[in-house]
Amino acid sequence: MIDLNLQFAKDHIADEEWQQLQPFVEDAHRRLHQGQVPGADFLGWIHLPSQTLQSGVADILSAAEEIRAQADALVVIGIGGSYLGARAAFEWVKPEYYNQLPAEVRGGPELYFAGNHLSPVALQQLLNVLQGKRVCLNVISKSGTTTEPAVAFRILRKWLQDQVGVEEARKRIYVTTDRARGALKKLADEEGYRTFVIPDDVGGRYSVLTPVGLLPLAAVGVDIRALLEGAMQAEQRLSTPKFEDNPAYRYAAVRNALYRKGKTTEVLAHYEPSLRLFAEWWKQLYGESEGKDFKGIYPSSVAYTTDLHSLGQYIQEGYRNLFETVVNIEKPAVDLTLPSNPEVDDGLEYLAGRPLSWVNDTARVATQLAHSDGQVPNLLVTVPDQSEASLGQTFYFFELACAISGLLLGVNPFNQPGVEAYKVNMFALLGKPGYETQRNAIEGRLKAGN
């Protein structure tokens, strides 16, 4: 089971801080479970794993089977919470070079992501790769109005229609959106696309265990039942308010205590390249949940040991507003042994016969020691392995900790009002109908240089 080790952070938190934080955490726990928190309309994620397992995932699995039969490649179109969870899970569970593997080894379509930027270069490059393949699209947007996925969908849909005709394209488009609202829902109804619903009470960054994540993951052969079962284990185990039994609450409390001491940046570190997108998912979860009302810990991430050779210097000796959370996979999916080669003097014979995972883990321990000596408190989240079940636990652990952490901070962890600011400016500048007043004001400002 996922766990938290505070060996390299304990000097930064006094016993009386723990004692004083416990009642606040208990209060936040009670209010969260009774729906008495700001953003109470978005608490559907709390029991999502158990409820989804209970209601079943037959629809998702049958659509996934269809996609596998129809497609050499699946393109998932979405951004933010409608993208990061699926990609994080895909990279966590599937091999790094999945798309390059032969079809019979992959056992599912190639998987690509679009609609998470506005770059014509990247989108054209994707179209080039898709050429000649049988393609399905899964467009995901809760609001159904987000510009990036809407633009990518328009281009990809036209491309698909040009390749296979309107009728065949219709069968290859899967829509995941709100049950009733939004331009995407309207389009899906008009065109007769197969549609999956994102529950009203689950916000984007908490939605990976809804069809948002489950459909594309099932399509590429991720065991979504195991993913949900792992999350359900965490849902059950982390339902107690006591620190000693709840590592997610200890994590939330430590973050809060460190923040009060000026540790305003958290660095999420990992030692597996396949966790890179998981770190992106985590950054969105914490950044959007906590960064508001001029408060919040800035979430950043590093991939070790790679970044020890770039950001390591800063973390060791730079400005001391950092703390580090290491997500460590206890048992790697595979291992390699360093061969013996005494004839060649590369200075590595002392490691002959050692598993590479041991070298990697030794680097982790050495780095935690060094960084904590450098006054960077180090938190260690241990995940048993890289299975779907462990990932489910990890998703739930961080979601729950994030909610409690946001409540301790005194913000609404379930809204993201700040995301709208750039959109208003962009719509005004793009000439979207209804934004004429803002457009005039912005053009005036740009001319005046302010």
List the catalytic residues. Answer: 288, 309, 423
Could you tell me the smallest distance in angstroms from the CB atom of residue 156 to ligand PA5? Answer: 15
Nearest Cα to Cα of residue 400 among 387, 409, 413, 410:
413
Could you tell me the smallest distance in angstroms from the CB atom of residue 204 to ligand PA5? Answer: 2
Whichever of 288 and 324 has its CB closer to ligand PA5, that residue is 288
Confirm or reject binding of residue 216 to ligand PA5 (CB under 6 A).
no
Whichever of 357 and 416 has its CB closer to ligand PA5, that residue is 416
Please check whether residue 311 is in contact with residue 302, taking contact to mean a CB–CB distance below 8 angstroms.
yes
Whichever of 146 and 210 has its CB closer to ligand PA5, that residue is 146
Nearest Cα to Cα of residue 211 among 382, 55, 348:
55
Q: Which of 110, 288, 290, 324 is the binder for ligand PA5 (CB under 6 A)?
A: 288
Structure tokens at 58: 């037959």
Nearest Cα to Cα of residue 3 among 318, 288, 244:
244
Nearest Cα to Cα of residue 26 among 254, 257, 260, 253:
253
Q: Can you name the residues that pair with 137 across neighbouring β-strands?
A: 75, 173
Binding residues for ligand PA5, how many (CB under 6 A)?
A: 15
Residues 5-34 touching ligand PA5, rule: CB under 6 A, are: none
Query: CA quadruple 158, 163, 168, 171: dihedral positive or negative?
Result: negative
What is the CB neighbour count within 10 angstroms for residue 85? 30
Q: Which of 4, 71, 77, 79 is the binder for ligand PA5 (CB under 6 A)?
A: 79
Could you tell me the smallest distance in angstroms from the CB atom of residue 182 to ligand PA5? Answer: 8
Confirm or reject binding of residue 211 to ligand PA5 (CB under 6 A).
no
Residues 147-206 touching ligand PA5, rule: CB under 6 A, are: 149, 203-205
Alpha-carbon span 169 to 174, nearest angstrom:
10
Could you tell me the smallest distance in angstroms from the CB atom of residue 55 to ligand PA5? Answer: 22
Longest pairwise C-alpha distance within the chain: 76
Alpha-carbon span 316 to 320, nearest angstrom:
9
Binding mask 118-157 for ligand PA5 (x = CB under 6 A): -----------------------xxx--x--x--------
- Binding segment for ligand PA5 (CB under 6 A), chosen from 4-12, 28-36, 77-85, 291-299, is 77-85
Alpha-carbon span 221 to 215, nearest angstrom:
10
Whichever of 81 and 392 has its CB closer to ligand PA5, that residue is 81
Q: Backbone phi, then psi, for 299, in 5-degree steps?
A: -90, 125
Could you tell me the smallest distance in angstroms from the CB atom of residue 386 to ligand PA5? Answer: 25
Nearest Cα to Cα of residue 327 among 357, 364, 371:
364
Whichever of 184 and 308 has its CB closer to ligand PA5, that residue is 184
Confirm or reject binding of residue 416 to ligand PA5 (CB under 6 A).
yes
Could you tell me the smallest distance in angstroms from the CB atom of residue 80 to ligand PA5? Answer: 2
Task: Report which DSSP code applies to 265.
Answer: E
Task: Report which DSSP code applies to 355.
Answer: B
How do 194-197 and 135-141 pair as beta strands?
unpaired
Whichever of 82 and 412 has its CB closer to ligand PA5, that residue is 82
Q: Which of 25, 37, 63, 82 is the binder for ligand PA5 (CB under 6 A)?
A: 82
- Binding segment for ligand PA5 (CB under 6 A), chosen from 73-81, 103-111, 320-328, 337-345, is 73-81
Whichever of 146 and 274 has its CB closer to ligand PA5, that residue is 146
Confirm or reject binding of residue 292 to ligand PA5 (CB under 6 A).
no
Could you tell me the smallest distance in angstroms from the CB atom of residue 287 to ligand PA5? Answer: 10
CA 81: distance to chain centroid?
7
Whichever of 322 and 401 has its CB closer to ligand PA5, that residue is 401
SS3 264: coil
What is the CB neighbour count within 10 angstroms for residue 74? 25
Nearest Cα to Cα of residue 325 among 279, 267, 238:
267
Q: Report the interface residues with ligand PA5, using CB under 6 A.
A: 79-82, 141-143, 146, 149, 203-205, 288, 416, 419
